[in-house]
Amino acid sequence: MRRNRREKIKERRQQKLEHLIRREVEEIIRKHISDPDIGFFTITYVDITSDFRYARIGVSVMGSDEEKHRSFNGLTQATPYIQHKLAGHLVIKRTPKIEFVYDERKEFRIEELLAEVRRERDEKDSKRQD
């Protein structure tokens, strides 16, 4: 019983820290990074290892393939600076080492929705012309 409670507490702490890191990293990038290569991005997830030493940050980027590549490279190059700023924002003993991971899942769904909206709009336009 005691072990199960400890695991739940650790899991909850891990989820809170993931949420906090997500919020702080987004804020750091938006307020402190002025790289013109970094375009429209979304942090889709943060996964922290059970020992709280490493955090993988999933990022979805909008734009053409070239813009996506430039944006992700800009984030990757800014990682040491983001890591430094994050350490100043978090009040914990050891800040997890962050790593950005390209996440296509959310981007694909957004592209699907945009295509559906375009199809519906085109259908309405063609009906009006008839």
List of domains in the chain = 2-103 (3.30.300.20)
β-pair partners for 60: 42
Q: What whole-number distance in Å separates Cα of residue 112 and Cα of residue 109?
A: 5
What is the structure's pLDDT at 1?
53
- In this prediction the pTM is 0.74
Q: Percentage of residues in the chain with pLDDT exceeding 70?
A: 90
Structure tokens at 67: 């813009």
More confident residue, 73 or 127: 73
Task: For 28-73, write each residue's pLDDT tens digit.
Answer: 999 999 888 888 888 989 999 988 999 999 998 888 889 889 999 9
Rounded Cα gap, residues 95 and 53, in angstroms: 7
Residue with tokens 């987004």: 26
CA distance 53 to 75: 20
Range scoring the smallest mean pLDDT among 10-14, 67-71, 124-128: 124-128
Rounded distance, CA 57 to CA 43, Å?
A: 7
Query: Of 2, 91, 10, whose CA–CA distance to 48 is shortest?
Result: 10
Judge whether residue 110 has pLDDT over 70.
Answer: no
